[in-house]
Amino acid sequence: MKEIALYIHVPFCIQKCRYCDFVSYPNRQSDSIADYFKVLIQELQIRTKYDSLQDIVLKSIYFGGGTPSLVSPEILKDFLLHLRQNFQFSKFIEITIEANPGTLNPEKIRDFAYVGINRLSLGIQSFQNRFLSFLGRSYQEKDVHNLLIHLMNSGSFLNWNFDLMYGLPFQTFSDWKKEIEYVLLYQPSHFSLYNLTLSQRVPLGSFLKSHLASFPGQDWEASIYRWTQQVLGKYGYKRYEISNFAQPGYECLHNLTYWRNQEYLGLGVSSCSYLRGIRMRNTSSLSHYQKKIKNGQSPVIMKDILNVKQKLAEEMILALRTSEGVETEKLFKTYPEPFVQEKLILLENFVQSHLVYKRAGRWILTSRGTLIANQLFLEIFD
């Protein structure tokens, strides 16, 4: 039996956030969501046949989006039941649903837990109204506080995360300090920290182009990142990946699957999969996705088979994102020695520049290295 992770993309939202570059569709009706989950079940049947998904154990299930918390608990219950009928669940399976504060209430939180969801990931982004408004979020800070107070008092979820963004226009250190004070007040078991990154395709992309001076800049972001890491460390949070912090035992199992370069299946429009060394992506058009499934066809429109050098570079990059780092012994067991030696010379150069350090046969990014990680990754992948 082979363990894999399962990702389900739910592309529906109340409204499209001004920074969002994910495939999502605002203002969809509940019957559209119900129909979409019927199509997901059909895709699962098709992919099981096309991708030989027999004798599979699911170690994690992740409902991402979009805004999956728009889905009713009844639909999720039926979908999870169908999964159980077709796959074995790991004894310690992690089942996550992403949620936005404007789409949750005490009853829904309780019902999500009842149907088997055991991890909640809240896309908060900020506790301050002016930043929420700028980002195009559909709720206000009072909604966030009311939700978190209920979540803590209810005890429905011990394993929960929330996301915050930094690098917003006119954001000061005082603003960010206030955000982190709320993290420490509510003490989520997991915390994700992202700097605002804008594609030219999103509404805020053109704003960035014409108002660049209003954004804090890379030096400010670097100092904020260092300060946040130090503060969270004092309160028991470990940075186990560049953007992710967790209390001991609450690291996200699903995301670790990606960073450890392990196999996963993606269902739904625009979802990605990695199976038997092949990277795959579903069509990003909802109508095209539904049409292909209706015709009994796989929605996969792209397959990428990496060569050995590409696989080596990708595994090293993913591992360096984590506090586990790159394991030398594993590389030599998996890849040709000349290719590995070439990359280890590069890592030695990073060590000399104090961007990487070695510990117990592993190569791990230093605090300084995390600040320019993307630049290092480009060198590795060259």
Read off the DSSP letter of residue 322. Answer: B
pLDDT of residue 168: 93
Q: Which of 247, 381, 251, 249 is nearest to 320 (CA)?
A: 381
The secondary structure of 46-71 as a DSSP string is: HHHHHTT--SEEEEEEEEEES-GGGS
Angle in degrees, CA 177, 325, 180, rounded to 5: 10
Whether residue 330 is found in the same domain as residue 238: no
Residue 55 and residue 196 share a domain: yes
Q: Are 15 and 156 within one domain?
A: yes
Note the helical H segments in 128-171.
129-135, 141-154
What CATH number has the domain bearing residue 348? 1.10.10
The answer to whether position 343 is within a domain reads: yes
pLDDT band at 207; cut points 50, 70, 90 = confident
Tell which of 230, 259, 288 closes a domain: 259
Residue 155: pLDDT above 80? yes
CATH number at residue 164: 3.30.750.200
Q: Are strands 264-267 and 2-10 parallel, antiparallel or unpaired?
A: parallel
Which pLDDT tens digit goes with each residue over 120-150? 999 999 999 999 999 999 899 999 999 999 9
In a domain, 301, yes or no: no
Q: Is residue 155 located within the same domain as residue 90?
A: yes
For the chain, the farthest-separated pair of C-alpha atoms sits apart, in whole angstroms, at: 59
Residue of higher predicted confidence among 17 and 241: 241
* Mean per-residue pLDDT, 292-311: 94
* Residue ending a domain, choose from 244, 259, 274: 259
pLDDT of residue 28: 65
Q: What pLDDT does residue 45 have?
A: 93
- For residue 377, the enclosing domain spans 308-381
Q: Give the C-alpha separation, 243 to 191, whole Å.
A: 9
Average pLDDT value over all residues in the chain: 93
Report the C-alpha gap between 266 and 9 in whole angstroms. Answer: 8
Same domain, 248 and 315: no
Does residue 83 lie in a domain region? yes
Tokens of 351: 């060590």
Q: How many CB atoms lie under 10 A from the CB of residue 298?
A: 16
Lowest-confidence pick of 69-73, 79-83, 191-195, 214-218? 214-218
Short-list 108, 102, 93, 21, CA closest to 57: 93
Q: How is residue 262 written in tokens?
A: 């392990």
Q: What is the mean pLDDT of residues 153-174?
A: 94
Q: Are residues 52 and 125 in the same domain?
A: yes
Give the tens place of pLDDT for each residue, 315-333. Answer: 999 999 999 999 999 999 9
Please choose, from the candidates 258, 230, 259, 232, the residue with its C-alpha nearest in 3D space to the C-alpha of residue 246. Answer: 232
pTM of full prediction above 0.85: yes
End-to-end CA distance of the chain: 36
pLDDT beyond 80 at 182: yes
User: Does residue 277 belong to any structural domain of this protein?
Assistant: no
- CB count within 10 Å of CB 280 equals 21
DSSP category for residue 336: -
pLDDT in tens, 324-361: 999 999 999 999 999 999 999 999 999 999 999 999 99
Based on the fold, state whether residues 238 and 146 are members of the same structural domain. Answer: yes
Q: How far apart are CA 217 and CA 117, in angstroms?
A: 38
Q: What is the pLDDT of residue 30?
A: 65
Average pLDDT of span 208-228 = 89
Q: Choose between 228 and 17: higher pLDDT.
A: 228
Q: What percent of the chain has pLDDT over 90?
A: 82
Residue 168 C-beta-side C-alpha neighbours within 13 Å? 26
In the predicted model, is pLDDT for residue 211 greater than 90? no
- Provide the pLDDT confidence category of residue 77 given band limits of 50, 70 and 90: very high
Amino acid 16: pLDDT: 82
pLDDT at 208 over 90: no
264 domain residue, yes or no: no
Confidence at 292, pLDDT banded by 50, 70, 90? very high
Tell me, yes or no, whether 358 lies in a domain: yes
CA distances (Å), origin 238, targets 46, 101, 224: 40, 26, 17
The reply to whether 186 falls in a domain is yes
Is the Cβ–Cβ distance between 38 and 82 less than 8 Å?
A: no
Are 20 and 91 members of one domain?
yes
DSSP class of residue 335 equals S
What is the tally of structural domains in the chain?
A: 2
**Residue 45 contacts by C-beta under 8 Å, 6 or more apart in sequence?**
none
Same domain, 35 and 134: yes
Confidence band (pLDDT; 50, 70, 90) for 212? confident
How far apart, in whole angstroms, are the C-alpha atoms of residue 155 and residue 313?
43
State the Cα–Cα distance between residues 322 and 318, nearest whole angstrom: 7
The answer to whether the Cα torsion of 95, 106, 143, 202 is positive or negative is: positive
**Residue 161: pLDDT above 90?**
yes
In a domain, 136, yes or no: yes
- Indicate the pLDDT class of residue 180, thresholds 50, 70 and 90: very high
Beta-carbon contacts of residue 97 (< 8 Å; ≥ 6 apart): 63, 68, 69, 76, 112, 117, 119, 120, 121
Taking 90 as the threshold, does the pLDDT of residue 186 lie above it? yes
Helix (H) or strand (E) holding 161: strand 160-166
